[in-house]
Structures are given as C-alpha cells and as structure tokens.
Amino acid sequence: MSSAPGIPEKLRLLLETFDTFDDVEQRMSMLIGYAEQFKGVPASIAIPPYPETARVPFCESDAYVWAFPEPGGRLRLHFAVGNPSGISAKALSAILEKTVSGAPAREIAALEPDIVNRIFRQNISMGKGMGLMGIVERVRDLARSTLRTKSTV
C-alpha cells in the first residue's frame, strides 16, 4: 500500500527520485531513457488503427491507453503512442507502465494529473502538458470505470 494517498508505491519512489534532479539536462536524460524503454501495446491487445475509444484527448502525440482488470483488484495498463517523435508521451507511458500498471485499481483511480509537473517540471509547453495530463486522466478514468463496473456487479 502507498504511504502517500493517490500514488502507488513504485510511482511515489520514482517521483522522489525525479525530485532530486534539479539539473534540466540530467532530468531530460532520464526522461529520454524512459522513452527508449517504451514498449507499445502488444498486437494481442490492439493493432493500428487504434479505436477512438482508447485515444487520449488533447494529446499531440496520438496516445492511446487500455486497461484490463487482473485478480486482486489490480489493473494492467497498455499504451500506444502514434507519433514516433512523441518522446514525452513515450517517457510518461513507460513510467506509468513500469510504476502503475499492475497496481490496485483503487490506487490508480486516485492518481492526480499533477504528477506530470513533478516529472517534467516546467520543461514542456502548455499544449504538451495538457496532452501528458490527458494520459494520466485517461489512466485514472479507466481505473474509476473498472471500480464502478465491479461495484455494480
């Protein structure tokens, strides 16, 4: 269980690591490293053209998110980024996949989009920031939808 409300433990630890990097170049190098680790959605989940229902609104990088319930109330997340130059979207997607995917849906449902500011700081444009926050909001909304579906069953 997370010690900070709304932030799964693995993500909390990563955010604390990012908080220690004041140097813009070091932070960007870390983000590029995450972008290079990005693995798109497996073909067993979805293939292009991806459904509009999975699209992240306002994301300039043409991002998509899928969520699948797992045993124990956990949620597995998958991401796609259509823009090959979408480094920020790929970095955030890789971070969320590594730190949030597989966490309890109730924790994912409590995520706040402001984690984007902790990760990227002021090193992104307003439009890009809105798109990245849209990815977090989409993840959160999918988790909330999963929880609502479970409670009505």
Does position 2 have pLDDT exceeding 60, yes or no?
no
**Residue 21's domain spans which residues?**
9-45+55-152
> Does some domain include residue 13?
yes
Q: Enumerate the β-bridge partners of residue 81.
A: 63
Residues 6 or more apart in contact with residue 123 via CB below 8 angstroms: 24, 27, 28
Q: Is residue 61 part of a domain?
A: yes
> Has residue 113 been placed in a domain?
yes
The whole-angstrom separation of Cα 75 and Cα 130 is 24
Q: For position 7, what pLDDT does the model report?
A: 86
Share of the chain above pLDDT 90, in %: 87
Per-residue pLDDT tens digits for 73-105: 999 999 999 999 999 999 999 999 999 999 999
Q: Is residue 25 part of a domain?
A: yes
Is 2 inside a domain boundary? no
What is the rounded distance in angstroms from the CA atom of residue 70 to the CA atom of residue 108? 13
Looking at the domain assignment, is residue 39 inside a domain? yes
What integer pLDDT is reported at residue 152 of this predicted model? 64
Query: Do 108 and 8 meet the contact criterion of CB atoms below 8 Å apart?
Result: yes
pTM of the model: 0.94
CATH number at residue 131: 3.90.1010.10
Is residue 3 one of the residues assigned to a domain?
no
Total domains, the chain: 1
Asked whether residue 108 is domain-assigned, the answer is: yes
In the chain, count H helices and then E strands. 6, 2
